[in-house]
Amino acid sequence: MKKKILIVLLIMGGLLSTLSAQRSFIRISTDETDLVLLVAPNGRLYQGYLGKRLLRETDLDNFSYLASTGTGDSNWEVYPGSGAEDYFEPALAVTHNDGNMATILTYVSSETKKLNSNVTETVIYLKDRVYPTEVVLYFTAYAKENIIKTRSEIKHKEKKPVTIWRYASNMLYFESSRYFLTEFSGDWAKEVRMSTQELLFGKKIIDTKLGSRAAMHTYPFFEVGLDGIPRENEGNVLMGTLGWTGNFQFTFEVDNTGNLRVLSGINPYASAYELKPGEVFSTPEFIFTFSHCGTGKASRNIHDWAREYQLKDGKGDRLTLLNNWEATYFDFDEKKLEELMKEAKSLGVDMFLLDDGWFANKYPRENDRAGLGDWEVNRSKLPDGIPHLVKSAKDADVKFGIWIEPEMVNPKSELFEKHPEWVIHQPNRETYYFRNQLVLDLSNPVVQDYVFGVVDKIMTENPGIAYFKWDCNSPITNVYSPYLKEKQNQLYIDHVRGVYKVFEKVKTKYPNIPMMLCSGGGARCDYEALKYFTEFWCSDTDPIERLYIQWGYSYFFPVKSMAAHVTSWNKSTSLKFRTDVAMMCKLGFDISLKEMDEKELAYCQGAVANYNRLKRVILDGDFYRLISPYETNHTAVMNVSKEKNKAVLYAYDIHPRYGEKLLPVKLQGLDPAKTYKIEEINLIPRTTSRMISNGKSYSGDYLMKVGLNLFTTNRISSRIIEITQQ
Ligand code: GLA
């Protein structure tokens, strides 16, 4: 008997020691990356390693030394609280009921489960030993795509609410000799301009305080090169993006030891949040990839991940369309729209999209100064209402989509007259207007219902509507919520949560309707909003600017999610050039066919037919950035089908110099062993290709090692090449 007990004790001891050995580190892995977190003897959780995936599980034991130190200069605490021995930006800061501002989190437990053969979720529970504050960290690892998605949840059981004033989604640490940050900044019509700088001692913060239209000046994504400026096909690079449609903040802090800390989350500016006992504060998802072979592969991984897991209807088809915005602006009537519907059909696109200007009667929407908020059809422009237009579209054999901007209001509107208390504005100061409008207070559940009601009413009255373009033109100005009263510091966060509640309700009731996310151009482009939207509007601008803009967005978004239209901006560029630029993304037209001559129309019809034929390769293939417009006077990109049997190659001459040396472009992503035929498409009718390679066949190996002569010294010219396996 004694012997038996001894054996049981020995086995239990063995089990326990195995468990504690397992517990001393937590491994979060993709096929290419390991993130190793360590539980130190002091009970706290540290980042032990983030880098190339290790081959041997036993090598992880080597990190135990780091774990056991747990103090000193390099405290890489995974979720550091304020008031401890770390002197840098904390991930969490709480003012407890007794006024104490220190929080130190210790490890409680963790669990890892496979969500499917590719996705693993690790959940880590932490708590403060002195105050009843708890944090849960979530890490979802996508093996094949090499993506890790993280977020945190904060709660407490103190007697009264506590104030939380730092609440990061995630914190990461890096050790390298130099760090280079690429940021994306801009404004309307010049979105996502890329610039790179070296990070030296101290902090560089990228953040926004705009509330809504939050990404008007800077965008919720970044790259950090860890062994030089981020490069396309080599080098270690961190690429990260935050899924939050409001104020966000990335802090890059190089500390006293030369290590880099990257803190990502909601911008805590003016947002000390009162958290009730038991209430859970969920932070947004921070999505990152740590690439060991440059940004190109990392982008393709993000594209695959987005299509598979995040983007609304990521695997589905997309509709080509004709939008009336730049064709008519606010100046239209039924007849004009019906003509445009017929033009849409004649172009060969799937849908007609009615933009701004179709609503409001007491204060008609003749321009952007009135009517926003009054979502009744404007009877003088459209006496027979929207149902009639839906029918006209049906008669023209195209689908019908409609523009809305339901989160906003013009002060000159019936809505504002009836419900000034629904509007974010100062009660006791002069009002400042951005584009003559104000933002509705989405922290108020009644207003959330109203905004949902805008969509619901349109859909109930017009079940035939096939698409929404959902705009958001104003940042939050005159920052005061009549609903939140003395809790104004919750406005920026509760407003965005209110927006999500509306998106969620729309998605639940109308799960299959495609929607474009728009925000005065491309100021809303994040992966939380894109759970509800099939695509986003990149920019209202001319094709030359859009070459740079599309290049910039392509680092984080698949072209399938990037709406790009042919417009009349920059008429000095040919219609072919404008179309060839829009063909790179989700194609649409914002132009009347009346602006085209016969040849141009035939060209556009041919381009739409080509696009429809090649859509699967363009929208679902692998995207390669070949030649950067930032580094040369030209640019080239290509899409390759997953089967590597078809590719579409785009080449643009922007502003070449006289007599400039033109280099061949080496293609990427093809199968070296296969033979491919080269054919220039999208040619102006009755012209022939000038490419000497046109009609010839080459091995994938040749095309990738020697390349093709794609560029010319003609200003603003373009060509699209179809590449087909023989
Ligand atoms: C924003 C959009 C445009 C258009 C207008 C309508 O500026 O970016 O595409 O929809 O609103 O007012």
DSSP secondary structure string, 219-260? -SEEEEESSSS--SSSB-EEEEEEE-SS-EEEEEEE-TTSEE
Q: How far apart are CA 726 and CA 698, in angstroms?
A: 10
Between 154 and 13, residue with greater pLDDT: 154
Which of 410, 473, 546, 590 has the most ligand 1 atoms within 8 A of CB, as the residue to mutate? 473
Mean pLDDT of 599-621: 98
String of DSSP letters for 321-371 = EEE-HHHHTT---HHHHHHHHHHHHHHT-SEEEE-S-SB-TTTT-SSTTS-
- Complete DSSP assignment for 389-435: HHHHHHHTT-EEEEEE-TTEE-SSSHHHHH-GGGB---SSS----BT
Q: Where in the chain is the domain with CATH 2.60.40.1180?
A: 624-725
* pLDDT digits 0-9 by tens, 585-596: 999 999 999 999
**What is the number of the ligand 1 atom nearest to the C-alpha of 590?**
9
Query: Looking at the predicted structure, is the pLDDT value of residue 264 above 80?
Result: yes
What whole-number distance in Å separates Cα of residue 646 and Cα of residue 618?
Answer: 10
What's residue 75's pLDDT? Answer: 79
pLDDT single digits (tens) 481-496 = 999 999 999 999 999 9
The fold adopted by the segment(s) 321-407+447-475+515-620 is TIM Barrel (3.20.20)
Q: Tokens for 139?
A: 């890490």
DSSP assignment string, 50-66? EEEPPS-GGGGGGGHHH
Alpha carbons 585 and 590: distance in angstroms, whole number: 15
From-to residues of CATH 2.70.98.60 in the chain: 15-310
Q: β-strand 259-266 against 193-199: which pairing, if any?
A: unpaired
Q: Compute the distance from residue 386 Cα to the ligand 1 centre, in Å.
A: 20
Residue closest via CA to ligand 1's atom 12 equals 356
Q: What is the pLDDT of residue 68?
A: 40
Look-up: residue for tokens 């004790």? 9
What's the predicted TM-score (pTM) here? Answer: 0.95
Residue 96 backbone phi and psi in degrees, to 5:
-75, 175
Looking at the DSSP bridge assignments, the partners of residue 322 are 352, 589
Closest C-alpha among 427, 422, 519 to residue 216: 519
375 alpha carbon – ligand 1 mean position (Å): 16
**Ligand 1 atom with the shortest distance to the CA of 519:** 8
pLDDT above 60: residue 17: no
> H or E stretch including 385?
helix 385-395
Task: List phi, psi (to 5°) of 4.
Answer: -60, -45
**Position of tokens 């406005």?**
491
Q: Is the pLDDT of residue 293 over 70?
A: yes
**How many percent of the chain have pLDDT more than 70?**
95
Best residue among 323, 325, 517 to mutate for probing ligand 1, ranked by most atoms within 8 Å of CB: 325
Q: How far lies 382's CA from each of 362, 399, 401, 423, 457, in Å?
A: 15, 18, 16, 28, 17
- Per-residue pLDDT of 406-451, as tens digits, reads 999 999 999 999 999 999 999 999 999 999 999 999 999 999 999 9
467: Cβ contacts below 8 Å, ≥ 6 apart: 319, 321, 351, 353, 399, 400, 401, 402, 513, 514, 515, 516
- Beta-carbon contacts of 405 under 8 Å, excluding residues fewer than 6 positions away, are 356, 372, 470, 471, 472, 473
- Examine the pLDDT at 464 and tell me if it is beyond 60: yes
For residue 552, the CA-to-ligand 1 centroid distance in Å is: 21
Which residue has 């301009």 as its token pair? Answer: 193
Q: Which residues contact ligand 1 via a Cβ below 6 A?
A: 325, 355-356, 368, 403, 471, 473, 518, 520-521, 537, 540
d(C-alpha 432, C-alpha 478), whole Å: 6
State the pLDDT at residue 24: 85
- Tokens read off for 425: 């504005």
Q: What would the CATH number be for the domain defined by 624-725? A: 2.60.40.1180
Checking if the pLDDT of 119 tops 90, the result is yes
pLDDT in tens, 646-699: 999 999 999 999 999 999 999 999 999 999 999 999 999 999 999 999 999 999
Which CATH code, of 3.30.565.10, 2.70.98.60, 2.60.40.10, 3.40.1390.10, is assigned to 15-310? Answer: 2.70.98.60
CA 471 – ligand 1 centroid, Å: 7
Cα(460) to ligand 1 centroid in Å equals: 25
Q: What is the pLDDT of residues 52-103, one digit of tens each?
A: 999 998 888 777 544 344 444 457 999 999 998 888 999 999 999 999 999 9
> Is 357 in contact with 333 (CB distance < 8 Å)?
no
